[in-house]
């Protein structure tokens, strides 16, 4: 289970010069096991939305709930993958992945078993005893994803997880995430400003607008992907060449560009 619901969510930041409405009337339903990407210009409040689901922040109006339970605090049922990895530098790869399992009272034998499996799945086995700073950015983000996945969470929250990686590493990680997500589906909320990434990964893409931050439109990718058999292509560039992909990408770009035009006008 892991259905996310934003019900008329708003966020107002109060200040001495008056208040700023960062988010207004956000309605969004993410179904159980659905991969939802959220794109939008910077400052549209997409990361804020993710932080509501994570329980790091609270909306000033409306409610955010998971499986009809209102979110009030962070917890391992909603695992987060941070843009800056957020690995404990004093713990090894294994230690980082183990912390969440240990916190949730999982016995030693099962812990070891689950860690071995996730390490193998993420190609990290030979780095189990390395410290994060000994790894490249891509490897560190693998560890961060492993740390989230190993908890078997209902919901995975990814906040521009590949934003800090170089272009080649990014492509490899996107392909890996697609394989992981298709084989082992979870409810995923994926924040990004890269349109291609959103179209390639997601079942649906929510486009956000700013001032105030709100959901502008939601596009269905999954039906196109299944009809056009994207998953039969192993490489991202092959998918990105497909006419159906280009069409969706252009549609989202137009939607975002209207925003920019309005901003300049």
Instruction: Determine contact, residues 53/204, Cβ cutoff 8 Å.
Output: no
Q: How far apart are CA 215 and CA 23, in angstroms?
A: 9
* The binder of another protein chosen from 25, 41, 76, 137 (CB under 8 A): 76
- Tell whether residue 90 is a contact of another protein (CB under 8 A): yes
- Tell whether residue 26 is a contact of another protein (CB under 8 A): no
Instruction: Determine contact, residues 154/187, Cβ cutoff 8 Å.
Output: yes
- Tell whether residue 71 is a contact of another protein (CB under 8 A): no
The values of phi and psi at residue 4, to 5°, are -100, 140
In the complex, the smallest distance separating the C-beta of residue 157 from another protein, rounded to whole angstroms, is 9
Q: How far apart are CA 231 and CA 228, in angstroms?
A: 9
In the complex, the smallest distance separating the C-beta of residue 95 from another protein, rounded to whole angstroms, is 9
* The binder of another protein chosen from 26, 71, 79, 195 (CB under 8 A): 79
Q: How far apart are CA 42 and CA 159, in angstroms?
A: 13
Q: CB nearer to another protein: give 80 or 181.
A: 80
Q: How far apart are CA 148 and CA 157, in angstroms?
A: 9
In the complex, the smallest distance separating the C-beta of residue 9 from another protein, rounded to whole angstroms, is 20
Q: How far apart are CA 156 and CA 78, in angstroms?
A: 6
Scanning residues 226 to 265, which ones bind another protein (CB under 8 A)? none
* The binder of another protein chosen from 60, 84, 169, 211 (CB under 8 A): 84
Q: How far apart are CA 43 and CA 29, in angstroms?
A: 22
Alpha helices in 36-122 (DSSP H): 46-54, 93-103, 108-121
- Give the closest residue to 35 by CA, choosing from 210, 221, 239: 221
Scanning residues 144 to 203, which ones bind another protein (CB under 8 A)? 147, 151
Which two structure tokens, joined as six digits, stand for 233? 């292509």
In the complex, the smallest distance separating the C-beta of residue 104 from another protein, rounded to whole angstroms, is 6
Site string for another protein, 103-142 (x = CB under 8 A): xx--------------------------x-xx--------
* The binder of another protein chosen from 7, 61, 82, 169 (CB under 8 A): 82
Q: CB nearer to another protein: give 137 or 212.
A: 137
Which residues of the shown chain bind another protein in the complex (CB under 8 A)? 54-56, 73-76, 78-80, 82, 84, 86-91, 99-100, 102-104, 131, 133-134, 147, 151
């Amino acid at each position: 289970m892991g259905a996310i619901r934003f019900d008329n969510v708003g966020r107002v930041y109060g200040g001495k010069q008056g208040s700023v409405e960062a988010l207004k009337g956000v309605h969004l339903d993410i179904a159980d096991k659905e991969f939802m990407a959220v794109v939008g210009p910077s400052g549209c409040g997409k990361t804020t939305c993710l932080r509501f689901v994570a329980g790091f922040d609270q909306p000033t109006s409306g409610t955010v709930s998971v499986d009809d339970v209102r979110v009030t605090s962070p917890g391992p049922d909603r695992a987060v993958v941070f843009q800056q990895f957020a690995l404990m530098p004093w713990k090894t790869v294994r230690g980082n992945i183990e912390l969440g399992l240990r916190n949730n009272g999982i016995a030693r034998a099962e812990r070891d078993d689950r860690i071995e499996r996730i390490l193998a799945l993420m190609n990290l086995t030979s780095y189990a005893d390395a410290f994060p700073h000994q790894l490249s950015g891509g490897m560190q983000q693998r560890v961060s994803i492993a740390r989230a996945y190993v908890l078997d969470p209902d919901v995975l929250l990814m906040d521009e997880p590949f934003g800090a990686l170089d272009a080649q590493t990014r492509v490899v990680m996107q392909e890996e995430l697609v394989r992981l997500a298709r084989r082992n589906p979870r409810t995923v909320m994926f924040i990004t400003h890269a349109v291609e990434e959103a179209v390639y990964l997601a079942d649906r893409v929510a486009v956000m607008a700013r001032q105030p931050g709100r959901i502008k439109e939601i596009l269905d990718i999954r039906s196109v992907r299944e009809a056009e058999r994207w998953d039969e292509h192993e490489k991202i560039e092959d998918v990105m060449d497909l006419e159906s992909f280009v069409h969706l990408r252009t549609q989202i770009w137009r939607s975002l560009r209207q925003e920019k035009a309005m901003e300049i006008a």
